[in-house]
């Protein structure tokens, strides 16, 4: 995972997470990520809005089991949480 740190213009720090997955979900369609890096100082308002809406759209498509979201056990092996 690459995190662009040259120019942070927001009030939060970037976070990277590594998660071990033993049971992966299967998808009908695979969307390849865009490998380019965004040069935020050169992005105009319309491009920022498009990025925001596209990111929101993709995040809204994630389907996370409610049980998994509320589980507090970092070593959980419950099948309903995987």
| Helix ranges restricted to H, the chain | 45-60, 66-70
Domain ranges of the chain: 43-81
pTM above 0.75, yes or no: no
List the chain pLDDT tens, one digit each, 82 residues: 455 555 556 666 666 677 777 777 777 787 777 667 788 888 899 999 998 999 898 888 887 777 777 888 888 888 777 6
Rounded Cα distance, 20 and 22, in Å? 7
- Look-up: residue for tokens 């993709």? 58
């Amino acid at each position: 995972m690459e995190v662009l740190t040259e120019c942070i213009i927001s009030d939060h720090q970037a976070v990277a997470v590594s998660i071990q997955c033993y049971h992966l979900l299967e998808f009908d369609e695979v969307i390849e990520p865009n490998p380019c890096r965004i040069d935020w100082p050169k992005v105009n308002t319309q491009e920022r809005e498009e990025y925001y809406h596209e990111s929101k759209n993709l995040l809204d498509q994630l389907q996370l089991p409610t049980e998994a979201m509320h589980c507090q056990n970092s070593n959980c092996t419950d099948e309903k949480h995987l």
